[in-house]
Amino acid sequence: MSLSVWYDLFLFALLFALFVYIFFAVRVTNLHKVYFVFHFFMMLWPLCQFATHIVQDPEIQFVYVSLSFVACLMLASGWLLFTLFLAGDAEKLEFRSIAPLFLPAAIVSIGVIVNPFHLFTRPTRADYVDRAYGPLFWLMMAVLAYYFITSLVVLIRALRSTSASASLKNQIRLVLWGIFVLVAFAGADILLNVILADYLPIIPGLTSLGIFITALFFAFVITRYKVFDLVSIAHEDIINTIPHGILVLDEYNSVVEANRALGKFLDIREGDFFDIETFFASVRVTGDSRQFLEHYKCKDQDLFHIELFAERGSGLYFILQTSPIFDASGQPIGHILTFQDVSQERRLVQELNRQNDVLHERNRSLDRTRLELSQANRKLEEMALTDSLTQCYNRRYLTQRLAQDMSVNTNQGIPFSFVLFDIDFFKTVNDLHGHVVGDEVLYRTAEAVRQCVRSTDVLARYGGEEFIVYLPNTDREMARQLAEHIRSTVESNLIRVEHSTQAVSVTVSLGVLSIERFAPQPAFNNMDEYLLHLFSEVDKSLYQAKNNGRNRIELADADQIPFWRSAELG
Q: Quick one: pLDDT at residue 569?
A: 38
Return the top range by mean pLDDT from 3-12, 260-269, 398-407, 461-470. 461-470
- Segment 288-297 long-range contacts (CB within 8 Å, at least 24 positions apart): 292/320, 292/322, 295/322, 296/322, 296/335
Q: Quick one: pLDDT at residue 234?
A: 54
Burial class (CB in 10 A: 0-12, 13-18, 19+), 292: buried
pLDDT digits (tens, 9 = 90+) for 430-480: 998 888 899 999 999 999 999 999 999 999 999 889 999 999 999 999 999
Q: Quick one: pLDDT at residue 570?
A: 41
392 three-class SS: coil
pLDDT digits (tens, 9 = 90+) for 160-174: 877 666 666 777 777
User: What angle is formed at CA 450 by the lines to CA 474 and CA 479, rounded to 5 degrees?
Assistant: 20
The residues pairing with 284 across neighbouring beta strands, listed in sequence order, are 309
Q: What is the mean pLDDT of residues 286-297?
A: 80
Please tell me the distance from the alpha carbon of residue 136 to that of residue 235, in angstroms, as a whole number. 49
Q: Quick one: pLDDT at residue 2?
A: 59
Is the pTM here over 0.75, yes or no?
no
> Residues spanned by CATH 3.30.70.270 within the chain?
395-560
pLDDT at 307 over 50: yes
> Residues spanned by CATH 3.30.450.20 within the chain?
240-383
Short-list 69, 210, 79, 76, CA closest to 137 = 69
CATH class of 395-560: alpha beta
Please tell me the distance from the alpha carbon of residue 1 to that of residue 23, in angstroms, as a whole number. 34
pLDDT at 221 over 70: no
pLDDT digits (tens, 9 = 90+) for 525-541: 778 888 888 899 999 99
pLDDT at 203 over 70: yes
pLDDT at 156 over 80: yes
Q: What is the mean pLDDT of residues 288-314?
A: 78
Q: For the chain, what is the mean pLDDT?
A: 82
The crossing angle, in degrees rounded to 10, of helices 3-25 and 206-225 is 20
pLDDT at 126 over 80: no
CB 530 within 8 A of CB 570: no
Confidence of residue 135 (pLDDT cuts 50, 70, 90): very high
> Residues spanned by CATH 1.20.1070.10 within the chain?
3-232
Q: Quick one: pLDDT at residue 521?
A: 56
Confidence of residue 93 (pLDDT cuts 50, 70, 90): low
Confidence of residue 490 (pLDDT cuts 50, 70, 90): very high
CATH class of 3-232: mainly alpha
Q: Is the domain defined by 240-383 classed in CATH 3.40.50.620? A: no
Question: CB-based contacts of 209: which residues, under 8 Å, 6+ apart?
Answer: 11, 185
Please tell me the distance from the alpha carbon of residue 564 to that of residue 561, in angstroms, as a whole number. 9
Q: What is the mean pLDDT of residues 257-263?
A: 83
Find the distance separating the first CA and the last CA of the chain, reported in whole Å. 71
